[in-house]
Amino acid sequence: MPHHTYTSQTAMSGLPRLIGSPIVRTVALLALCAAYIQGPLTKIFDFNGALAEMDHFGLHPAPFFAVAVIAFELAASALVVSGVLRWAGALALAGFTILATFLALRFWEMAPGMDRMMATNAFFEHLGLAGAFILVAANDLTRGKGK
């Protein structure tokens, strides 16, 4: 009677199929875009808060920028999740993330302490998020889906 030994090779054989499955890809893309879906929805339901945020960052006229950010984030997220011009949506969100990060998380201007440490961590987490969007775009463009 043959004896089957469970090995890491056995465990790894199903991993590409699982990770590459449509449901896992969709959930991962939704997770990647989560902040760009949650943020605009929060702004829609608290538009006065959205206006205050635009004012805080010196973006005037605040109503124009609030609506533009809401529309941009939702539209770019829809492209990424749907797969329609995913590369364009991903690159747009990468660029937006880098610009917003340098606007909102200027840790180098802060006094040493907990707030600076939190802003520093958030700054580099956002750079990582932008990098992930660039990888999504590169994946689509190199697989011929960039048309």
Over residues 76-105, the mean pLDDT reads 98
pLDDT per residue over 50-85, tens digit each? 999 999 999 999 999 999 999 999 999 999 999 999
Q: What is the 3-state secondary structure (H, E, C) of 5-28?
A: CCCHHHHHHCHHHHHCCHHHHHHH
pLDDT per residue over 33-46, tens digit each? 999 999 999 999 99
Mention every residue, 6+ apart, whose C-beta is less than 8 A from residue 62. 51, 54, 55
Question: How much is the pLDDT for 144?
Answer: 75
pLDDT per residue over 17-27, tens digit each? 999 899 999 99
Write down the pTM of the prediction.
Answer: 0.87
